[in-house]
């Protein structure tokens, strides 16, 4: 079932335990209601804590020149996977986070107060890595195989869509629950046969002798390529914190669009210097992803998210019905539209 796992949280536990008092340090009292206009005034001393994965946000902000101009104090905390980030939200240890679309489902199932405030979209950025020696060259060949399975992550939906496309169900394979960070080593040690992986983890894994992957034409339609910036109802109820998060959305969109327009610099700063990959790796990854766009927070996006919910439910992996619309704070649509216009970015894929 769709259980809330603690996979990967141990690496961030110390931060969560020490950061609670620092999170959302705007003034107490005068709480903002969920339907109130988002404030713009950021009092001096306001601080937000930003959950990052793979240093992607902080490198983009720094390389684009937006980090130093943030009009509030900030702290980055690095996590691996949505389950650990959701734990941090529950501990009131982070104010804003970047994670895959499944965290919205996970939050709804658990009855948490996490909200989608910005959407980003690329082409399908996931790949199916195959263990050395495993004879898997198509989705149909997954039948009878051991597949790495990280519940509560975008990779979970990717696996379920893969099985559905191949005409398989969960009983036709062995789903092996584990943390995302464990996928590469368990493939190398022949504990599983295949696992979905995001970049840059996938590129590092493919340096393993004998490692292969499913062809892109087999898996290209298995993901909408959507991920989100999230905040929490609690953080957004504080006027100072909400204003800072509003400003962060604008800076984040500007930074990601800078990466669209400055491929060589982004490859050097992120893929090479931050992630230890080669220039060629960076070019291949960006070619596969395509430019990043920023969908509007509207009924179309809600319907796309509901489809993801339905995929998980159809596989019997959802313990109770949930409505995707409840995960979105649509007040941020106006913020996203303004930021996209200012950056010269786009809302839709070509």
**What confidence score (pLDDT) does residue 24 get?**
58
Per-residue tokens: 121? 């979209």
Q: How buried is residue 20: exposed, middle or buried, by Cβ count under 10 Å (0-12/13-18/19+)?
A: middle
Per-residue tokens: 285? 């990854």
**What confidence score (pLDDT) does residue 157 get?**
87
Strand partners, 52: 78
Phi/psi class of residue 144: alpha, beta or left (left: φ > 0; alpha: ψ in -120 to 50)?
Answer: left
**What confidence score (pLDDT) does residue 206 get?**
95
**What confidence score (pLDDT) does residue 26 get?**
45
Task: Render each residue's pLDDT in the chain as its tens digit; 350 residues.
Answer: 332 222 233 334 344 434 444 455 544 445 899 999 999 999 999 999 999 999 999 999 999 999 999 999 999 999 988 889 999 999 999 999 999 898 999 999 999 999 999 999 999 879 999 999 999 999 999 999 999 998 878 888 899 999 999 999 999 999 999 988 899 999 999 999 999 998 889 999 999 999 999 999 999 889 888 999 999 999 999 999 999 999 999 999 999 999 999 999 999 999 999 999 999 999 999 998 899 999 999 999 999 999 989 988 888 888 888 999 999 999 999 999 999 999 999 999 87
**What confidence score (pLDDT) does residue 316 get?**
85
Global pTM?
Answer: 0.82
State the Rg of the chain over Cα.
20
Q: What is the pLDDT of residues 25-79, one digit of tens each?
A: 544 445 899 999 999 999 999 999 999 999 999 999 999 999 999 999 999 999 9
**What confidence score (pLDDT) does residue 314 get?**
85
In whole angstroms, give the CA distance from residue 95 to residue 327: 16
**What confidence score (pLDDT) does residue 97 get?**
98
Alpha-carbon separation of residue 280 from 56, 268, 272, 277, 288 (angstroms): 18, 11, 10, 8, 12
**What confidence score (pLDDT) does residue 200 get?**
86
HSE of 17, CA atoms in CB hemisphere, 13 A:
6
């Amino acid at each position: 079932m769709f259980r809330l796992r603690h996979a990967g949280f141990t690496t961030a536990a110390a931060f969560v335990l020490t950061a609670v008092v620092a999170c959302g340090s705007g003034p107490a009292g005068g709480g903002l209601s969920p339907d109130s206009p988002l404030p713009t005034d950021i009092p001096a001393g306001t601080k937000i804590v930003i959950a990052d994965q793979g240093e992607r946000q902080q490198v983009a902000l720094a390389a684009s020149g937006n980090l130093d101009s943030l009009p509030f104090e900030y702290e980055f905390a690095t996590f691996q996977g949505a389950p650990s980030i959701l734990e941090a939200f529950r501990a009131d240890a982070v104010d804003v986070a970047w994670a895959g679309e499944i965290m919205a489902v996970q939050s709804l199932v658990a009855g948490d107060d996490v909200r989608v405030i910005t959407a980003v979209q690329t082409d399908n950025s996931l790949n199916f890595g195959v263990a050395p020696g495993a004879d898997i060259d198509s989705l149909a060949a997954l039948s009878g195989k051991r597949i790495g399975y990280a519940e509560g992550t975008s990779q979970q939906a990717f696996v379920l869509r893969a099985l559905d496309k191949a005409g398989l169900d969960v009983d036709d394979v062995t789903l092996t629950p584990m943390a995302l960070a464990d996928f590469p080593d368990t493939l190398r040690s022949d504990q599983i046969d295949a696992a979905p992986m995001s970049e840059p983890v996938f590129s590092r894994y493919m340096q393993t002798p004998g490692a292969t992957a499913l062809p892109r034409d087999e898996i290209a339609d298995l993901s909408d390529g959507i991920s989100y910036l999230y905040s929490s109802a609690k953080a957004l109820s504080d006027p100072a914190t909400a204003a800072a998060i509003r400003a962060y959305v604008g800076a984040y969109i500007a930074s990601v669009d800078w990466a669209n327009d400055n491929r060589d610099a982004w490859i050097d700063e992120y893929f090479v210097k931050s992630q230890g990959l080669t220039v060629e790796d960076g070019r291949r990854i960006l070619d596969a992803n395509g430019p990043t766009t920023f969908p509007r927070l509207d009924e179309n996006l809600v319907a796309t998210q509901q489809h993801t919910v339905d995929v998980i439910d159809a596989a019997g992996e959802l313990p109770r019905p949930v409505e995707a619309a409840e995960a979105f704070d649509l007040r941020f649509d106006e913020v996203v539209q303004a930021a996209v216009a200012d950056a010269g970015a786009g809302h839709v894929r070509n």
